[in-house]
Amino acid sequence: EDDNNRDYTPVRWVRVNTIKSTVDAVLTKDPFFKKLTKVDAFEKVIDTPGTIFHDPYIPNLYGLHPKDKVTSTDAYKQGKIIIQDRASCFPAHILHPSPGDHIIDACAAPGNKTTHAASYVKNQKHSIVAFERNSARSQILRKMVARAGASKCISVKNQDFTTASPKEFNDVVGFIVDPSCSGSGIFGRSKDDKLNKNQPEKKTSEKTTTNEEEDIVEENDDDDEEEEEEEEEPISGKDKERLAKLSSFQFTIVKHALSFPSAKKLVYSTCSIHAEENEQVVIDLLNDGQIKNAGWRLCTRDQVIPDWPRRGWSDEFVKARFGEQESKALAEGCIRSLPKVDGGIGFFAAAFERD
């Protein structure tokens, strides 16, 4: 707790965008990267500007000190590197689609996970459909996709994913479902910043303004170049009603994805620390009769970044709903990242699969 509340310098996580470049080209040729000193723990990056940490969990991911002006580099300006929190890289890595696979990102804007997934399918044409129901955010998504060099691979649809017809996408095998959540795992953005950035949901036809676009083009603005993950305000622990609503929405959207005829694997994630939006949603899905009958099960630890030590919760909350033994298995299959102590935002991910 104390650790979590101290004045904190976050790591700036940077993913080499293998659609546009290679690790070798970025690290050995870019003048900014060439000067950095390698360290063997992300905590050392936090202590010392001018250092770089190679993440052992996600390929092509590096940690930098936020004072090092990576946003001024050509590599950043040309979309060869993408600033993306480490935990936010988990879903595409867990899904691990192969070239030739067709996948859907159900809640895609601003598109960090979508473009990451595009790198796994080797940017093959028409591999990914990215849904985003908010029109302003779908514009941001299109820009991020273009910047990553993935416009041919990713088709953006400004549409509510729950209205997508499973029959129309009968070749889709994989899903990333990263729906709106309380955002309780996010830190370091002031309330005012969040309120300014997150415009209320608008109908597609309405004109809307947002300053997120500026975040993309103002590459020298050192504070805000990472795109906003969430659209909701953090929640107080007491706000059970709102949590229940979010949890029910999250359940509905994942259940819809699990109904697609060729779906074989789905990764569910949130940037919430609340069990109601995380383990609870997973439990509700696993207990749902239709989902069970369709053959879905939770992926086991060996399929979900096995070396990542912080797994899901199996505390009283979970046990009371799922039983002792099942709770342990469930926790092992899930991943959590704690805000700050794990070097980034609070995050949750779990995966479902069927034969």
Q: Look up residue 262 and give its two tokens.
A: 């060729």
Nearer to ligand SAM, 68 or 225 (CB): 225
Is 108 annotated for ligand binding? Answer: yes
Any contact of residue 85 with ligand SAM (CB under 6 A)? Answer: no
Closer residue to ligand SAM (CB): 154 or 286: 154
Measured from the CB of residue 116, what is the shortest distance to ligand SAM in angstroms?
8
Give the DSSP H/E element, type plus range, for residue 34: helix 31-34
Query: Alpha helices, DSSP H only, in 122-186?
Result: 135-147
Minimum CB–partner distance for residue 109 and ligand SAM (Å): 4
109 binds ligand SAM (CB under 6 A): yes
> Which tokens go with 11?
């790591």
The yes or no reply on residue 335 touching ligand SAM (CB under 6 A) is: no
- Cβ pair 49, 70 in contact under 8 A: no
The 263-302 site mask, x for binding ligand SAM (CB under 6 A), equals: ----------------------------------------
- Is residue 178 close enough to count as binding ligand SAM by CB under 6 A? yes
137 binds ligand SAM (CB under 6 A): yes
Q: Which of 153, 181, 271, 334 is catalytic?
A: 271
Q: Which residue is nearest to ligand SAM (CB)?
A: 107
Instruction: State which of positions 42-61 bind ligand SAM (CB under 6 A).
Output: none
Q: Which of 13, 53, 76, 131 binds ligand SAM (CB under 6 A)?
A: 131
Q: Determine if residue 107 is labeled as part of a ligand binding site.
A: yes
Tell me if 85 sits within 8 A of 344, measured CB to CB.
Answer: yes
Shortest Å distance, C-beta 61 to ligand SAM: 14
Is 271 assigned a catalytic role?
yes
Within 8 A by CB and 6+ apart from 20, the residues are 78, 79, 80, 148, 149
Q: What is the 3-state secondary structure (H, E, C) of 73-126?
A: CHHHHCCCEEECCCHHHHHHHHHCCCCCCEEEECCCCCCHHHHHHHHHCCCCCC
- Segment lying near ligand SAM (by CB under 6 A), choices 36-44, 118-126, 226-234, 320-328: 226-234
Segment near ligand SAM (CB under 6 A); pick from 33-41, 132-140, 313-321, 329-337: 132-140
Is 322 strand, coil or helix? helix
Helix (H) or strand (E) holding 61, with range, is strand 61-64
Distance between CA 314 and CA 312 in Å, rounded?
Answer: 7
**Contact call for residue 231 and ligand SAM (CB under 6 A):** yes
> Which region among 22-30, 174-182, 192-200, 333-341 touches ligand SAM (by CB under 6 A)?
174-182
Candidate residues 113, 142, 143, 147; the one interacting with ligand SAM per rule CB under 6 A: 113
CB 136 within 8 A of CB 210: yes
Phi, psi of 4, rounded to the nearest 5 degrees: -70, -25
Residues in the chain: 355
Give the list of residues 6+ apart from residue 258 with CB closer than 8 angstroms, or none: 266, 285, 291, 294, 296, 352
Total binding residues toward ligand SAM, as defined by CB under 6 A: 23
CA distance 154 to 178: 17
- Residues that bind ligand SAM in the complex, under the rule CB under 6 A: 88, 107-113, 131-134, 137, 160-162, 178-180, 229-231, 253
Catalytic residues: 271
User: Per the annotation, where are the binding residues?
Assistant: 107-113, 132, 160, 178
* Binding site, annotated residues for S-adenosyl-L-methionine: 107-113, 132, 160, 178
